[in-house]
Amino acid sequence: MAEVIIVKDQAQAATLAANVFATLIKRKPTAVIGLATGSTPLKVYEALAAQVKAEQIDVSNVRGFALDEYVGLDKNHPESYYSVINNNVTVPVGFTPGLINTPNGDLATIEQAGEVYETLIRSSGGIDVQILGIGTDGHIGFNEPGSSLASRTRIKTLTQQTRQDNARFFDGDLNQVPMHCITQGIGTILDARQILLLAFGENKADAIAAAVEGGVSSFCPASALQLHPHATVILDEAAASKLKLKDYYTYTFDNKPGWQSV
């Protein structure tokens, strides 16, 4: 079972997670980190940028791999994950742009793009710490329910729900949202040496309960983290509200019972 830490708020989660990355980078300046898009990790990136600046940590040799990318969307489109990672992570933290990778969603080379990305991750020595959000349906990356737990980086068709959710980034126009994506597989994600999954808010509570305390199943892709030897799930109380073993998890604030991690 994953370690579960229940925090007071998003800021505390961000500090915790940023510190994991900062500690790694100080110990290993050529660290390989796994990056996620979505709103969940944004404060982590802000906290990391602040810590890097305050402690003058050299991040110039850090390599990074994003989880996913739209297929057929120009790399320089403001909503491509290449652009989003560049604007939210690479520039503010000060990473070297050429060392931060996203899968290549270019149509011309899409058939080989999954294998190319897998090879690139492998030749980097593998991901040291991967940060993840979770979808309300339990997805991680763009691995929607039903994705093989052994899957590798590949093309997927976006579900109608995900396209509707993401239409807000495309002027609310569903027709502008790409139909396909390329995403690291669940097997790829599980190869990371350490995984941090963050979730906030009541709308994530069902997915978290299924992922953490439910059976391991492709119908809740995040449940695959139960198979990982070093996965930590960081939650606010709302996202943790449907967990049954709440008294056994670690709390980072005083008025709660446990300091015991499971």
What residue ranges bind ligand PGA (CB under 6 A)? 38-40, 133-135, 139
Here the tokens at position 237 are: 């109380």
Active site annotation includes 171? no
Cβ proximity to ligand PGA: between 139 and 163 the closer is 139
Minimum distance from residue 25 beta carbon to ligand PGA (Å): 23
Q: Which residue is nearest to ligand PGA (CB)?
A: 38
Of 151, 160, 153, nearest to 179 (Cα)? 160
Q: Of 79, 128, 137, 191, which residue is the catalytic one?
A: 137
Minimum distance from residue 49 beta carbon to ligand PGA (Å): 18
Cβ proximity to ligand PGA: between 39 and 260 the closer is 39
d(CA 49, CA 63): 15
Partners of 132 in the β-ladder: 197
Cβ proximity to ligand PGA: between 57 and 222 the closer is 222
Q: What's the 3-state SS for 229-259?
A: CCEEEEEECCCCCCCCCHHHCEECCCCCCCC
d(CA 246, CA 25): 32
Q: How far is CA 81 from CA 19, 68, 86, 150, 183, in A?
A: 24, 7, 8, 24, 11
Minimum distance from residue 213 beta carbon to ligand PGA (Å): 19
Active site annotation includes 139? yes
Active site annotation includes 180? no
Cβ proximity to ligand PGA: between 57 and 189 the closer is 189
What contacts 21, CB < 8 A, 6 or more positions away?
Answer: 31, 33, 44, 48, 129, 131
Q: Of 69, 79, 118, 144, which residue is the catalytic one?
A: 144
Minimum distance from residue 254 beta carbon to ligand PGA (Å): 28
Minimum distance from residue 134 beta carbon to ligand PGA (Å): 6
Active site annotation includes 77? no
Amino acid type, 151: S
**Residue pointed to by tokens 């979770």:** 134
Of 84, 88, 90, nearest to 105 (Cα)? 84
Q: Of 69, 139, 191, 236, which residue is the catalytic one?
A: 139
Cβ proximity to ligand PGA: between 5 and 59 the closer is 5
Any idea which residues carry the catalytic annotation?
68, 137, 139, 144
